[in-house]
Chain A
Amino acid sequence: MHPAPSIIVFTVLSGLGFGLLAFLGLNMPDVSGWVLFVFFAVGYGLAGAGLLASTFHLGHPERAMLAFTQWKTSWLSREGILSVACLVVLGLYALLAVFFDTKLGWLGALGSVLAVATVFATSMIYGQLKTVPRWNHWTTPALFLSLSIGGGALLASKSEFAGLVLLFAAALQIYAYYDGDTRFKARGHSLNSATGLDTGPMRLFEAPHTGSNYLMKEMIHQIGRKHAQKLRLIGMGFGLILPAILLLFAHVGHVLVVPIILSHLAGMFVLRWLFFAEAEHVVGLYYGKHG
């Protein structure tokens, strides 16, 4: 798949933002006043920036309100509704907590649930797609959730918990790579199944056109395969393992946490870029790819 920068930025930042908001709703860290205000500002900034970036991906962002209507079947619609509901509920909670020093526990908890549900909905936009076997697996929501909770805990100064969750996420990521690398073939997708013709080995004799098209640019696009293994290690190293080790074994104060956050962010951008760049769409079979 084409790794569109708007979607990479959206999923990384909103994942981190909603992760932080989930902790703030549970009164972690237990702060108040302006400190709490800054925490909420960071959470809303990340989640908001992510949602804003996602609208750059749309052909007609002026019709985005319609995306709140199809929650019965569409994970994208559910994500939109859940994210707005989360931001409204936690906005009210933050308003009362910051300016009136009143923390409504149930309201915050509801906001936390909505934040986690938003990340789950985001992950299911990809996880539901049978056309991309690498994504169509329980590891996709599991990874999105653990990365979001781990990153959120890191921002919420829950160092040890963050370290443990990021380590778990690294293990999950390794399993997702291991299992995902063979899933396309394991599901039985081939040019023979794509065309229904099973009388012998097949290959593309002539493409429908000499140029490119939307499908090829968007879904059959292959990039970064040469360095994929290195990028996996770089992404997991900087995004998950290095932060986890520092969080678990070093005494992390307010100063050291900044480079850890930057390292985590950089690694996450690499991992999310790979998530899209490495995804093979079954339509590629018709164009002589993935055979």
Chain B
Amino acid sequence: MTQLPALTDKKLGLVIDLDTCVGCHACVVSCKGWNTENYGAPLSDQDAYGADPSGTFLNRVHSYEITPKDAPAQVVHFPKSCLHCEDAPCVTVCPTGASYKRVEDGIVLVNEDACIGCGLCAWACPYGAREMDQEEKVMKKCTLCVDRIYNENLPEEDRQPACVRTCPAGARHFGDFNDPASNVSTLVAERGGMDLMAEQGTKPVNKYLPPRPKTDAQPEPEIDILAPLLAPIASDSKGFLGWLDRTLDKLPGA
């Protein structure tokens, strides 16, 4: 059903810490690895070893440069996947009911057997979270690893999305935003978690933690007790270098 639930029992989603992400793309690889062989159709590649390779990914990492006026420039690595929006425009536009938002946990999923591959949901998503698989001709998107998080065949520590489990920097967090005491709710409250493209009114569940400002990136100049010993010793050079020094000094425009 493409009608959105007014409330979901749980509100599962991710917190992505832009301060911590090092841009290693490990989440991209683990996501592709898990999801190409589990939920639904595989994530195909086209011309993978050729001149124009492309493929279906559910998670991609962009990198941006910010140049604040009064602070040093900053590079921010920016992982982006489905934000499992509360007001998900991708769900309501779907003509077949293939797209839906689960009442029990708020995960937005595609029933691939009902997908006609019209692509309208991808057009409706501001975040580029949905990609049409060019081999299977159905819409693929992040499932929040719905086949891991409830999977009792996996050890308990593995029952979280593949991207979160794999992140070597600890920049990705998974939890229930409906629970004010959860790890994700706490992080959002403490670090000022923010929405992407809030003006689109999608009410994304996933939140991003802004990078901490780099205002004190340049420390106070240190006093070096060896400095006097390291001063240049040759105050009056002789020989060829001395001649060169004096000659260059005489040239205009120095």
Instruction: Find chain A residues with CB under 8 A from B134 CB.
Output: 214
Interface segment, one of A12-20, A204-212, A250-258: A204-212
Could you give, for residues 186-213 of chain B, a 1 whenever the CB lies within 8 Å of some chain A CB and a 0 otherwise? 0000000011111111000000101101
Cα distance, A287 to B64, chains bound together (Å)? 10
Chain A residue nearest to B214 (CB atoms) is A199
Cα distance, A61 to B78, chains bound together (Å)? 36
Contact check, B3 vs A58: say whether CB atoms are below 8 A apart. no
Chain A residue nearest to B127 (CB atoms) is A283
Cα distance, A73 to B18, chains bound together (Å)? 35
Contact check, B194 vs A196: say whether CB atoms are below 8 A apart. yes
Contact check, A66 vs B114: say whether CB atoms are below 8 A apart. yes
The reply on B183 being an interface residue by CB < 8 A is no
The reply on B131 being an interface residue by CB < 8 A is yes
Contact check, B199 vs A189: say whether CB atoms are below 8 A apart. yes
Q: Which listed residue, B57, B75, B123, touches A281 by the CB 8 Å rule?
A: B123
Chain A's nearest CB lies how many Å from the CB of B49?
A: 12
Cα distance, A211 to B124, chains bound together (Å)? 23
Chain A residue nearest to B140 (CB atoms) is A214
Contact check, B64 vs A59: say whether CB atoms are below 8 A apart. no
Instruction: Find chain A residues with CB under 8 A from B194 CB.
Output: 196
Contact check, A214 vs B132: say whether CB atoms are below 8 A apart. yes
Contact check, B66 vs A202: say whether CB atoms are below 8 A apart. yes
Q: Which listed residue, A1, A73, A213, touches B92 by the CB 8 Å rule?
A: A73
Q: Which listed residue, A57, A202, A212, A219, touches B128 by the CB 8 Å rule?
A: A219
Instruction: Find chain A residues with CB under 8 A from B78 CB.
Output: 195, 286
Chain B residue nearest to A61 (CB atoms) is B116
Cα distance, A122 to B235, chains bound together (Å)? 84
The reply on A203 being an interface residue by CB < 8 A is yes
**8 pairs of A and B residues whose beta carbons are closest in the complex:** A59-B117, A59-B137, A200-B68, A208-B60, A66-B96, A77-B95, A67-B95, A283-B128
Residues of B within 8 A of A (CB): 1-3, 18, 28, 52-57, 60-69, 71, 74-76, 78, 80, 89, 91-98, 114-120, 122-128, 131-132, 134, 136-138, 194-201, 208, 210-211, 213
Residues of A within 8 A of B (CB): 1, 57-61, 63-64, 66-67, 69-70, 72-77, 80, 125, 128-132, 187-189, 191, 193-197, 199-209, 211-215, 218-219, 281-283, 286-287
